[in-house]
Structure 1
């Protein structure tokens, strides 16, 4: 037992070293992407009483001071007047109208506020939530695998390091968006689920996810839904708490949209897949035939995620007959495709990777007994 405890401490120390090295390399490889002005604009708009012209100047000046020349020039469309990025950077009204697309990521904006207030520059404050989230991510994964495999510490450590080195996760840690933060929160949620923590704790984590990326409200409601159904199937009991928490989540979601004057999903879809409007005014509209055409164009390119999702779901149903585990895997699988139907961008793995990760972890959890027999 003492040897097991000592070996666990050694692996924990090794993981700390690896995570620290990756934190540094991720920081050095940070990419000043075109989303950064939107998040900085959201922060300054909430914190400072700047007019629209001052807002744009403050945002782009602070980025230009720190960003590599090529990153900044790409961010402003290489100063080409016909480029959308340049137009947004040069027209304060157009920039201001883009802010609601970013300000709804409330928890991410709050962390930018926090890091800037304790002394970091505003652009670095945009990166820190993801860099720190990636650092924590490894320890969460290790804790999950340790709980699943118990004494198989080497296996838990190996799987953790393998996931940390996967390029998409590394990429999420280097870009100015809340996707790595979302991934670490959703991983924390999974740990809470397999630890059988109370639904109220799981709900609070899901609420943080919704405050970070409001589109995860569908997954949150799906989870509360299967919680209700599971209790009903197992004892014909009506779980009032899951109903009340669902109402709270819907209310919070609607308040986030209302307070931030969010245009709505049709506008996001139109601006992303049909035409990027320079001024977001009026309701965006498109036909069902346009929507179907875009879905069909992109569904084939979704094959990598589809293959992995089907594989993980198959593993779950093959290795376990536990109703709860199967229901969890099924809602994860369905939510991947719901997200695709709302935002059919197969090349943007960052929108799907958190759910795909949870589906993989669920498959590992389902196959834990088989894996234990095959390892030492």
Structure 2
């Protein structure tokens, strides 16, 4: 058995290494990179915004191709203003500075000697490789007697273009996915609630918008335990929720984050060149019309997620397993309501994969007898 699993892992690691190298070779220098570099360089030069601005664009120009660098500068009018005016550039940095977990990882690589742009991209390249290992580990747990499913299915998932996009683009999405994978493993392996809380907190530190997921999970556990334990209240879950909320508010306040309304306005209505010069004002009707329009591009994720949810309910009558499936499914659409970028799968693919893992768990439990611990 050990020999077969050893050969299985060898085949997998060769394939994953090839995919990881391919992601590195096809890394993308896009218009998000200046924001994250500016955030990190602000730690180096906290009192010299002009130097931060100059260094950001000089370092990207040294590494990116001419086409990529021109695309960063001329992606829209706002980007042209950011390049020309360091004050306008500085005003949009709070959108990026709040992702302190990602910026901290970039900063560590930068201090180890990597260039700034490389540091941003390598965080995701390393995360991609580790996530691949974790996926193999999960499938080995779920199908302990099948030596082919773990490597083949893991490689298929990480070959999938939206997953590779997470690794190739300078955003925190691949890094936060790493902690989501650790989180789902902690559920499967019956780890302590404290460890699960730590992983949830890491997700919020990397991308504060993941507070929706953290809070919805804690609420689901609270209700589940309350119903199962003769109406007893678990105050530890309340403390966890309050702790995450306090940390979230502290990050938002410290970095003067404009807020969801500003992010939505700049992302979907009009990218303001100078944020302080124009208020982010729009009506609910504009928001609703945009949601309905974006749903057209969301049909693939909607269909696939519904299939996974339905199959999970069909395969398992385990209440807690169904709660997890509904949790991941609902977070896909909660995220869409706040950021309806339906055609960009990287914003939702992590939750889809978690839902896929729950489905595989239900499948393994039905046919292999593998048991998921219910919350006591």
TM normalised by structure 2 equals 0.95
Structure 2 residue 170 is the aligned partner of structure 1 residue 176: yes
Structure 2 residue 257 is the aligned partner of structure 1 residue 255: no
Native 8 Å contact 2:316 2:366 kept in 1: no
The secondary structure found in structure 1 opposite 2:286 is: helix
48, 51, 74: which is aligned to 1:51?
48
Partner Cα distance (1:193, 1:226) in 2:
14
Q: Please list every run of at least 4 consecutive aligned residues from structure 1 whose deviation after the TM superposition is greater than 3 angstroms.
A: 369-373
Match of 2:130 in 1: 136
The secondary structure found in structure 1 opposite 2:110 is: helix
The secondary structure found in structure 1 opposite 2:30 is: coil
Partner Cα distance (1:150, 1:255) in 2:
44
Native 8 Å contact 2:218 2:237 kept in 1: yes
Native 8 Å contact 2:16 2:132 kept in 1: yes
Match of 1:30 in 2: 27
Unaligned runs of 5+ in 1: none
Partner Cα distance (2:31, 2:47) in 1:
21
Q: Deviations over 1:161-183 (max 9, x none)?
A: 11111111111111111111111
**Structure 1 position 98, deviation (Å):** 0.6
Structure 2 residue 341 is the aligned partner of structure 1 residue 367: no
How do 1:1-376 and structure 2 match up within 5 A? 4-77=1-74, 83-236=77-230, 237-281=232-276, 283-370=279-366, 372=368
Native 8 Å contact 1:15 1:138 kept in 2: no
Q: Deviations over 1:294-344 (max 9, x none)?
A: 111111221011001111110111111111111111111111111111011
**Structure 1 position 50, deviation (Å):** 4.7
Shift in alpha-carbon separation, 1:128–1:321, aligned structure 2, 3 A = same
RMSD, matched Cα: 1.4
Q: State how many pairs are aligned.
A: 367
Q: Deviations over 1:93-143 (max 9, x none)?
A: 110001000011111100111001011011100001100001101110011
**Structure 1 position 369, deviation (Å):** 3.9
**Structure 1 position 47, deviation (Å):** 2.2
Partner Cα distance (1:47, 1:14) in 2:
43
Moved more, 282-291 or 39-48: 282-291
Partner Cα distance (1:346, 1:367) in 2:
29
Partner Cα distance (1:58, 1:181) in 2:
25
